[in-house]
Structure formats: structure tokens, C-alpha cells
A and B are shown apart, each in its own frame.
Chain A
Amino acid sequence: MSEEIKNLIIEYVKKEYLEEDAEEEVNENTPLISSGIVDSFSMVSLKTFLEKKFNIKIPDDKATPEAFDTVTNILNLLKEYNVT
């Protein structure tokens, strides 16, 4: 399941935040926020995606730039909501 969730998030990031012909590789350890792939304003749409997909509510104080900086960090955050 975790592998499936990981791939789902990676695909979403690629589709929504990268240009079609982007040369950047995205894997579970690619920095998203600090690299600028996802900026702090766009984090809200990524958070909305996760909430919608997994039927959870992530409070603002948990949705920090650090918590969203890599897919691995996001997976760790999701574990708190029993999404594994």
C-alpha cells in the first residue's frame, strides 16, 4: 500500500507541479518545497489533494514546509492519520 501511495503522490506532483516536458526527476527524496517545485502557496493544493484522496483533515500547524518537503516526509505525516 505504501508503495502505491508513494507512487500516487509522485505522479500527482509530476502532473500538477511540473511542466509537461520537465527534465527534473521526482522520487520520494526529491526536495519539493526547498527546491521550489512546490512553493509555500501551492502547498495548499497539495494538502487539499491529500485530504481529499485519503479522506483526512490535516491541521494547518501540521502542514509545514518541512512536513511537505519530500514525498517521504509526506508519507510520514500520513502515517499519523493511519494512511499507510
Chain B
Amino acid sequence: MSNIGSYEERYAKFDWKISADELEYGKNGMFNIGYYCSDRIVEKGFGDRVGLIWQGFKGDVKKFTYNDIRIYSNVFAEFLGDIGIERGDRVCIFMDRIPELYMSFIGILKMGGITQPLFSAFGEEALFTRLEDAKTKAIITTRKHAGKIRRIRERLPDLQKVIVVDGVEQNLKPGEIAFNMEGSTPVEHFEIEKVGPEEASVLHYTSGTTGKPKGALHVHSSIIAQYLTAKWVLDITPEDIYWCTADPGWVTGTSYGIIGPWACGITQTVLDSGFNTEKWYQFIEQHKINVWYTAPTAIRLLMKDGTSVVQKYDVGSLRHLISVGEPLNAEGVIWSEQAFNKPFHDSYWQTETGAIVITNYPGMKVKPGSMGKPFPGITATVVDQKTFEPIATTGTVGLIALKPGWPSMFRAYWENKEMYDSKFKNGWYICGDRASIDSDGYFWFVGRDDDVINTGGHLVGPFEIESALLEHEAVAESAAVGKPDQVNMEVVKAFVALKPGYEANADLELSIMNFIRKKLSPLAMPQEIEFVDSLPKTRSGKIMRRLLRAKEWGQEIGDISTLEND
């Protein structure tokens, strides 16, 4: 029997109070996520339960009980207070998936800070944009990534503290603080900040078609949704060993790689390693993982290596499989039934929703290729893209829309009210994705409604790439679009027109690739560059990405009446 039981009954009779009551949310005036992910589990008598099994790429393993998590997060919280970080300050976490990342995440929340996790593969310009926008006061990092911060620090007047968790004084620069979590004096008691339920907790940056990345701001009461979705969708029970493969630089890695599972008091695992098929299966076998939350990109990479590799390992511990990041195609679901004797369950949500909103549930029939149905408490539909009225006809494609008001809904884009307001139309939050609903109420993903590129489950903004491309000495103008990719669904392709005197060749292509990779991130690096004489533009001079994208996907080009050159 799954945790959710009958989906239909749950959906018909639902109140978020179910979750708040189970968590005892707000008892003694406590709303802080940090408390619910550590101290509360210890108070319930599970301090000796392992909360985190961490494994490095060399195979070294560290285990942390809930009491360890409580104490180490206290250590971070106290330290941050001691160096002058105050309630509401933004504290960025910028490191690989090491234990300090997870402990500092909870520690920042406990002392009332707003945690701002950023993907450690970000280049210096991507990092700068996000730190500047958030007016981040402190950043927690490692020696490996400190160089990127050093190169931009002078341009960030608000960034007062740089904390290096594996730093030793002699190899740090002036103004950097060495901090050793495990070497610090344990902090047995820390007065957790009594934040309000609507007080800011986590700031995740996400990309749009135009402008700079936006900071989606979440609040402490988001845990009400993250806890219950972890319990009902991921179907985790206290005895489970759980593996979320997402990096906490992205929202899946915090909502379901930290908050949800730890609020449930389960054992979660982290593999701090690049992708390797055999290593992944070994990891499942070694730690007897029961519940596995991963991404279609990873599933497709595993598929490429075939079922014969799976058979070399004992993966019989797996009980429930879930996928997120981009639509999981039917082939992935069918393959997982062959490889693991159970289907992957696709789940749909985004940075702004904070938690899963449409998904397939354990015990409910999986229609391969479908997104599933709305989570109880979520009113979801598809709306007409002009009138924003719900579409009554089944099978008709519209924009996915959600009735605002679920606990983990973002409350703002950081200092960008206009952009935030633009996401709400006719009383609906518009997700920016297109889908249809079938006669059984299942949602079917069609595609995005904008130019944002979804590569390997991560959204990359074309504007940010194009702006960076223009900084390359040889580039006169450029356009970035998504092109189809068997593994990552989409990858970045750049169309580049060169300045006079530059010649298109393989050396220049490689130079531009590496330029973007270092400046922004490997995700933003064009996997292909096509050199062109000029780019198609509207009569008003705007580059027509839509046309370039349609060409890549073999789609109808549509109305080109405003085209300047063809």
C-alpha cells in the first residue's frame, strides 16, 4: 500500500492542513524549515538514524545521523551569526555536493538567513549576475571554486564575507575566512530564529527568454508542500534509503534533495560524482536504495548502455522510481520496466512552484509519456493562450495553468515585481509550458511556450548566452536556440555572424565554446556553432529566434511577414 492510498479519494477530500498537522507545523511558534529538517527529527527520538550517506567519486563514504545534522547545522548557524550575518541576509552556497553544502543549507535557515544555492559549475559571469542581483552578503565555497569569486569580488560591493570550508589560512586571499565544519567545536544548543511562515527561506535563480535570470523567492511554509509531496509522490517511508540525483544548485536538489526527505526523517544518499553508468548501479547496490528520483537525461544515458549492464548489479532493492526535469518519453518508461521491473513515474513542476504539482502516483496507472494528474490541493488546467480561459475540450493544447495559493508557490521574483505579476493571468499562474488533458484527466506535455532552452532538465536563457557571445572578440551578432538531442532533449546551438577580419573555422568554434563554458556554464556552452553571414531579423531589427529554432526542429516556420531578410 502506498502512502497516498487512493489518489481519487485524496484529491476529492484534501486540505493542506493534513501536512501541517503531521509536521505539527507552527507548534510553539516554530516555522523554520531548519528546525523541521533536523532538531524535530531528533526530538521525535530518531537522533541516531542516519540522515545522510555521502559518497565521493573515489568511493569514500561518510555517514551523518540526524543528531549530526542538527549539530553541524548549528555550527554553521552560530558561525554565520558570529561573523555578522543577520536575519534576511542572502547567503550563497557555491560548492560541489559535499556534506558542508547540506549542513550549511540548514544552518543558514536556522539563523534566519535566506539561502541562495548556485550550481558550482557556473562560470564567473553567471555567478556575478546572480550575486549582484540578490545583493548577496556572504558566500560559502571551497578552494576549488574560490578563484571564480576572486575574479568578480571587486565588482560586488555587497559581498562582505567569503567563507572557504576547506580553507587553510595560508592559501586564502585577504578577506576570505577559513572554516572547518567537522573541526569546529560542536554547538549543542542553538536558538533557532523564530521566523514567520511567510518569511523568505530559499532564493533559486531561473532563466527566462529575455533579461537576466530571475530569483524565485520561497518562504518557510513551503515545507508543507515539500513534505507531503515527498511522502505521497516519492512514497518514502522512514525505513527507506532514498537517492535524489539532482544538484542542490537547482530546485529539485533542495526541495527533494534536502527539505522533503529530511522533513520526513528518512535516510538520503548523495553521490558526489559525474555520471557513470556502472558507478550509479554500484551505488544503488551498495546502499540498497529503495526510492530513486532522477532525470530523463540520466535515464536516457543508462538506456544507451542497455539492460545487460543493469543485470551485472543487484538493484532489487529499488521499490519506486520517479523522474523530473523534462518530459519523460514513453520509451524511458517502457525501458525501466524491462531494466528494473518497474516504471519511472514522471513528475512535473518548476522552480517557481517549489514542489511537484502534476505527477504520476504510486498505485495509479502510468500512461507512458504522460505527466500524470494534479497533486491533491493543486487546481490545474490548460488555458487558451490569448484569453487565458480554461479549455474545456479534451486533447486541445493550451498553457498549463495553476490556481495560486499552494504553500510552496514562489512569493516574488527578487526585486522584480513587474515580472512576477506578469506570470499571473485571469486568476491563474501561467507555467510557460504547453500541454493537453485527455479524457481521463492525464496531462500530456507538448513543449515550452517561450524560447527558453531545457537542456538536461535545466533551463538556460538564450538572452544570457547571446549577451555573453557578444563579448567574444570575434562575434558581431548571435542567436542561441535549442536543438534536438537524444540524451538531453535539447542542447544549445548558436548561430554566429563574425566581425570583419575573422574567419569561421574549427579553432574559432572551439574558442567560442570554451569562452561561454567558462563565462556562464557547461550547460550554456553551445554544443554546435553555425557560422552565418547574417541573422534573420524582423523589420524592427529583432532577431527571429523562432525561425531558427523551427528549422532545427523541422517545424513549420509560420508567419514570416515581418522578416527583414530571408
Q: Could you list which residues of chain A lie within 8 angstroms of chain B, going by C-beta atoms? A: 16, 19-24, 31, 33-36, 38-42, 44-45, 48-49, 51-52, 60-61, 64-66, 69
Contact = CB atoms under 8 A, between A and B. Distances in A.
Contacts, number: 79
Closest 7 CB pairs of A and B: A41-B522, A19-B147, A52-B506, A42-B522, A33-B274, A45-B513, A34-B274
Contact of B510 (A22, A48, A60, A69): A48
Contacts of A66: 276-278
9 contacts: A19-B144, A19-B145, A22-B147, A36-B96, A39-B121, A40-B274, A45-B514, A48-B513, A52-B507
B36 to A, nearest CB: 31
Contacts of B14: none
B456 interface: yes
B294 to A, nearest CB: 14
Given A41-B456, A48-B513, A34 B279 contact: yes
A65 B275 contact: yes
Interface in B264-311: 272-279, 301, 304
Nearest to B513: A45
B391 to A, nearest CB: 37
A31 B273 CA distance: 10
Contacts of B455: 41
Contacts of B525: 41-42, 44-45
Contacts of B510: 45, 48-49, 52
A33 B523 CA distance: 15
A22 B145 CA distance: 9
B253 to A, nearest CB: 15
B57 interface: yes
A48 B506 contact: yes
A38 B488 CA distance: 17
A62 to B, nearest CB: 12
A60 B527 CA distance: 12
Contacts of A31: 57
B309 to A, nearest CB: 11
A41 B275 CA distance: 11
A19 B148 contact: yes
B555 to A, nearest CB: 23
Contact of A65 (B57, B274, B517): B274
B509 A36 contact: no
A73 to B, nearest CB: 12
A67 to B, nearest CB: 11
A7 B542 CA distance: 46
A65 B276 contact: yes
Interface in B455-473: 455-456
B273 A36 contact: yes
Given A52-B506, A52-B507, A33 B144 contact: no
B319 interface: no
A35 B274 contact: yes
A21 B151 CA distance: 12
Contacts of A23: 143-144
Contacts of A38: 274
Given A36-B96, A39-B121, A42-B525, A21 B147 contact: yes
Contacts of A42: 517, 522, 525
A48 B514 CA distance: 11
A41 B513 contact: no
Contacts of B486: 60
B272 to A, nearest CB: 8
A34 B507 contact: no
A24 B142 CA distance: 13
Interface string B71-95: 0000000000000000000000000
A34 B144 CA distance: 16
Contacts of B279: 34
A33 to B, nearest CB: 5
Given A22-B144, A23-B143, A45-B517, A36 B522 contact: no
Contacts of B143: 23
A40 B275 contact: yes
A34 B278 CA distance: 11
Nearest to B509: A48
Nearest to A15: B514
B13 to A, nearest CB: 45
